[in-house]
C-alpha cells in the first residue's frame, strides 16, 4: 500500500505569501569568550549514596555473549541499590528512598502526628505520649546550658553533636550565636510573664552585696511571695555590678530595679544589719511613698527587716575572738594534713593505727565564715587521737612544721598569686600544735556553736516561711548564752542583748500566728529577758486584741 504523497507547499504554504517582516530570522551567534560553562553542582543525595559499576553478562539473540557496565548507587545506611546513570536516571528515586523507605536514615522526616511514649519526670515519672518539637528541644537545650553553667560554645562540641545524632537524630544542634539570640528572646518572654504574675502578690524582698576575689562589687535582689495555692516561691530579679557599698549606690539601684519590675505591693526588704543598708532602705521607702499608686503597709514603717542570720554571724564572731589561739592552732594542724599528699597519707596511717572509724576527713575552713570554722572544728575533734599520735613522734614533720616561720606559706602564695618575687614575710612561729586545753575548749565551743549553726540553717530556708519560728530560735540562742554565762562571768553580754533587742521586736509580730504562742507571754519576755523598755511592752499589748 502506497503512502499518500504530501506536497511541501500544502504543508507549509507558499513562501511568497509570508511577508518578509514576519519572517523569523535567527539571531547571530555571540563570539566565544574563551570561558567554559560552569558545571552543574552535584546533588546532595550523593552524600548518602555510594557509586559503583555493576558488570552484567548479556547474551544476544544469536547466542553471542557480551559484557555491559551499569552505573548504580548503594545506600550507605541500608545497602539498597538504585540505577544511577545520569543520562537515563535521575535522583528522585534515591531521595524518595531516604525520606520514606530507609528506616536507618538518621535525618528521615517522620510524620508529625506520630507520637512516642516516654516518662515525664515533672509528673512523677508518669507515662505520657509526645511528639518531636524542634522549639521545645531548643528551649530545653538553653535551660541545660543555664542550669549547668555551661558556655554557649558547648553546643558546637563534637561530643554533644554525636550524642544528639544518637539520642535524637531529628534535633539539629544550634550554633552558639543562634543559642545566644534564642536565650535573650526566652529571657525577655519569661521576664514579661513574671512581671504579670508578681503584680497580684504582696512581695517580700531580700538583698545582699559582696565583693568578689576580682575586687568587683555585686548586688542581688530576690523576691519572695506566696501564690494563690499557698505555695512559697522565690525569684532572683536582679544580679548586677554595683559601684560601691555606699547607701547612695544601693538605694538608687534598688529603686531602679523595683521600677523596672513594676513592684508596687512591697511588704518588706530584708538586708544585713549595716548602717549603709539602713539608709538605703530608708531612701527607697521615701521614694515608694511618693509614688502615685503606692501600696506600702503603714507607710513602710516596718519595711526594713534586719537579717537574723547576719545578726547571729556578728554574735558568733564575738565568741570566736575569745578562742582565737585555740582555733588557729587547730587550723594550722588541718593545714599541715592538707598541704601535701605525703602528709595526708601519714595522717591516714595514724587514723588507722588509732582505729578511728569515720568516713570523712578533716576540712579546711574559710576564716571569714564562722559556719565553715564550726565544720572544721567538728571534723577535727573526731580525729583528735590521730593528731596527738603525730605530735608524740619527736622526729615527725608534724612538729617541725610548727617550728617554721608562719610567713613561709604566705610568702609562697604571694609570689604565685601576684607573679612578683615580693612577698610579705613574717618572723613569728606558727601557732600550735593544739594543746589539751585547746582541744577541751574546742569541744565546749563546738557544742555551743551547734545551736547557732542549726538555727542559721533553719532561718536561711527560702522555700517555706520562717518568720513565725524565728522568735523561738532567738530564745534558744539566748538560753545557750545564759548557760555559758553561768560558767564564765567574764563574757560580755552587751552586744548579744543589743542585737537581740533589735531583732526581737520585729520577730514577735508573726509569732502569735502560731497556735503554740501566747500573746500575754510576749511582754514578759521583752521586759525581763531582752530588757526592752516597758513603754514598748505597753504598746505591744495594745495589739493583742487583734490576735
Q: What is the pLDDT of residues 240-249, one digit of tens each?
A: 888 888 888 8
**Higher local confidence (pLDDT), 438 or 103:** 438
DSSP one-letter string for 458-469: HHT-SSS--HHH
CB-based contact 56:68 (threshold 8 Å): yes
Q: Give the bridge partners for 266, in sequence order.
A: 203
Using one digit for the tens of pLDDT, what is the confidence trace for 488-497? Answer: 545 555 444 5
Question: pLDDT-based confidence at 21, cuts 50/70/90?
Answer: very low
Confidence check: pLDDT of 150 > 80: yes
Question: Looking at residue 472, what is its pLDDT?
Answer: 74
Question: Looking at residue 228, what is its pLDDT?
Answer: 82
Question: pLDDT-based confidence at 419, cuts 50/70/90?
Answer: very low
CB-based contact 216:241 (threshold 8 Å): yes
Q: What is the edge-to-edge ordering of all strands in the sheet holding 81-83?
A: 49-59, 65-75, 81-83
Question: Looking at residue 399, what is its pLDDT?
Answer: 84
Question: Looking at residue 130, what is its pLDDT?
Answer: 67
**Higher local confidence (pLDDT), 61 or 182:** 182
**Higher local confidence (pLDDT), 7 or 250:** 250
> Among 58-72, 81-95, 402-416, whose mean pLDDT is lowest?
402-416
Confidence check: pLDDT of 397 > 50: yes
Q: Which three cell numbers stand for residue 285?
A: 521607702
What mean pLDDT do residues 212-224 have?
A: 88
Using one digit for the tens of pLDDT, what is the confidence trace for 23-65? Answer: 444 444 445 555 565 666 678 888 888 988 888 887 777 778 8
Using one digit for the tens of pLDDT, what is the confidence trace for 323-375? Answer: 788 888 898 899 988 888 988 888 888 888 888 888 888 888 887 788 888 89
What mean pLDDT do residues 68-78 have?
A: 88
Confidence check: pLDDT of 2 > 60: no
- Give the separation between CA 431 and CA 332, rounded to whole angstroms: 7
Question: pLDDT-based confidence at 15, cuts 50/70/90?
Answer: very low
**Higher local confidence (pLDDT), 541 or 77:** 77
Confidence check: pLDDT of 273 > 60: yes
What mean pLDDT do residues 529-536 have?
A: 52
> Among 185-189, 280-284, 419-423, 529-533, whose mean pLDDT is lowest?
419-423
**Higher local confidence (pLDDT), 463 or 454:** 454
Q: Phi then psi for 222, rounded to 5 degrees?
A: -120, 140
Q: How far is CA 544 from the centre of its chain?
A: 44
Question: Looking at residue 63, what is its pLDDT?
Answer: 75
- Give the separation between CA 291 and CA 304, rounded to whole angstroms: 18
Question: pLDDT-based confidence at 69, cuts 50/70/90?
Answer: confident
Please tell me whether residue 487 adopts helix, strand or coil conformation. Answer: helix
Q: Which three cell numbers stand for residue 154?
A: 558547648
Domains of the chain: 45-101 (no CATH), 125-191 (no CATH), 199-306 (3.30.420), 330-445 (no CATH), 461-546 (no CATH)
CB-based contact 323:440 (threshold 8 Å): no
- Give the separation between CA 72 and CA 81, rounded to whole angstroms: 7
Question: Looking at residue 123, what is its pLDDT?
Answer: 66
Confidence check: pLDDT of 262 > 70: yes
Long-range contacts from 342-350, C-beta under 8 angstroms, 24+ separation = 343/397, 343/398, 346/390, 346/396, 346/397, 346/398, 347/383, 347/386, 347/390, 350/386, 350/387, 350/389, 350/390
Confidence check: pLDDT of 519 > 70: no
- Give the separation between CA 106 and CA 21, rounded to whole angstroms: 63
Question: pLDDT-based confidence at 145, cuts 50/70/90?
Answer: very high
Using one digit for the tens of pLDDT, what is the confidence trace for 152-170? Answer: 999 999 999 888 888 888 7
As a whole number, the mean pLDDT across the chain is: 75
Amino acid at each position: 500500500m502506497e503512502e499518500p504523497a504530501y506536497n511541501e507547499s500544502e504543508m507549509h504554504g507558499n513562501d511568497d505569501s509570508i511577508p518578509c517582516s514576519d519572517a523569523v530570522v535567527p539571531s547571530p551567534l555571540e563570539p566565544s569568550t574563551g570561558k567554559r560553562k560552569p558545571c552543574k553542582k552535584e546533588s546532595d543525595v550523593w552524600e548518602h549514596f555510594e557509586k559503583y559499576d555493576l558488570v552484567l553478562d548479556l547474551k544476544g539473540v544469536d547466542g553471542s555473549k557480551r559484557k555491559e557496565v551499569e552505573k548504580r548507587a548503594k545506600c550507605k545506611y541500608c545497602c539498597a541499590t538504585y540505577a544511577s546513570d545520569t543520562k537515563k536516571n535521575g535522583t528522585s528515586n534515591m531521595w524518595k528512598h531516604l525520606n520514606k523507605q530507609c528506616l536507618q536514615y538518621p535525618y528521615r522526616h517522620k510524620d508529625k502526628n506520630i507520637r512516642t511514649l516516654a516518662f515525664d519526670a515533672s509528673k512523677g515519672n508518669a507515662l505520657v505520649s509526645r511528639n518531636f518539637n524542634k522549639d521545645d528541644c531548643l528551649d530545653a537545650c538553653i535551660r541545660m546550658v543555664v542550669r549547668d553553667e555551661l558556655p554557649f560554645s558547648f553546643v558546637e562540641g563534637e561530643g554533644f553533636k554525636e550524642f544528639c545524632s544518637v539520642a535524637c537524630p531529628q534535633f539539629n544542634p544550634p550554633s552558639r550565636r543562634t543559642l545566644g539570640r534564642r536565650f535573650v528572646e526566652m529571657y525577655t518572654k519569661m521576664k514579661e510573664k513574671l512581671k504579670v504574675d508578681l503584680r497580684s502578690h504582696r512581695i517580700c524582698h531580700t538583698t545582699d552585696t559582696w565583693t568578689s576575689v576580682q575586687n568587683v562589687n555585686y548586688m542581688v535582689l530576690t523576691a519572695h511571695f506566696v501564690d494563690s495555692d499557698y505555695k512559697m516561691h522565690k525569684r532572683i530579679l536582679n544580679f548586677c555590678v554595683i559601684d560601691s557599698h555606699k547607701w547612695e549606690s544601693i538605694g538608687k539601684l534598688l529603686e531602679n530595679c523595683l521600677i523596672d519590675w513594676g513592684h508596687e505591693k512591697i511588704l518588706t526588704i530584708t538586708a544585713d544589719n549595716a548602717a549603709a543598708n539602713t539608709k538605703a532602705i530608708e531612701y527607697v521607702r521615701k521614694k515608694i511613698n511618693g509614688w502615685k499608686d503606692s501600696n506600702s503597709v503603714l507607710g513602710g514603717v516596718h519595711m526594713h527587716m534586719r537579717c537574723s542570720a547576719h545578726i547571729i554571724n556578728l554574735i558568733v564572731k564575738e565568741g570566736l575572738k575569745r578562742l582565737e589561739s585555740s582555733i588557729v592552732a587547730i587550723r594550722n594542724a588541718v593545714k599541715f594534713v592538707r598541704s601535701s599528699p605525703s602528709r595526708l597519707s601519714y595522717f591516714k596511717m595514724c587514723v588507722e593505727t588509732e582505729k578511728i572509724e569515720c568516713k570523712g576527713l578533716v576540712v579546711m575552713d574559710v576564716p571569714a565564715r564562722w559556719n565553715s570554722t564550726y565544720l572544721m572544728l567538728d571534723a577535727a575533734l573526731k580525729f583528735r587521737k590521730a593528731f596527738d599520735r603525730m605530735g608524740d613522734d619527736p622526729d615527725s614533720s608534724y612538729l617541725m612544721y610548727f617550728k617554721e616561720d608562719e610567713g613561709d606559706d604566705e610568702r609562697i602564695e604571694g609570689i604565685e598569686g601576684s607573679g612578683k618575687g615580693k612577698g610579705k614575710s613574717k618572723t613569728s612561729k606558727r601557732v600550735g600544735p593544739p594543746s589539751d586545753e585547746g582541744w577541751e575548749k574546742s569541744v565546749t565551743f563546738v557544742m555551743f556553736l551547734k545551736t547557732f549553726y542549726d538555727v542559721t540553717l533553719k532561718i536561711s530556708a527560702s522555700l517555706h516561711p520562717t518568720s513565725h519560728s524565728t522568735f523561738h530560735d532567738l530564745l534558744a540562742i539566748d538560753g545557750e548564752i545564759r548557760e555559758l554565762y553561768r560558767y564564765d562571768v567574764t563574757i560580755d553580754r552587751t552586744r548579744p542583748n543589743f542585737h537581740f533587742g533589735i531583732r526581737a521586736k520585729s520577730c514577735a509580730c508573726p509569732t502569735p500566728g502560731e497556735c503554740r504562742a501566747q500573746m500575754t507571754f510576749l511582754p514578759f519576755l521583752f521586759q525581763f529577758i531582752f530588757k526592752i523598755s516597758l513603754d514598748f511592752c505597753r504598746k505591744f499589748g495594745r495589739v493583742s486584741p487583734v490576735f
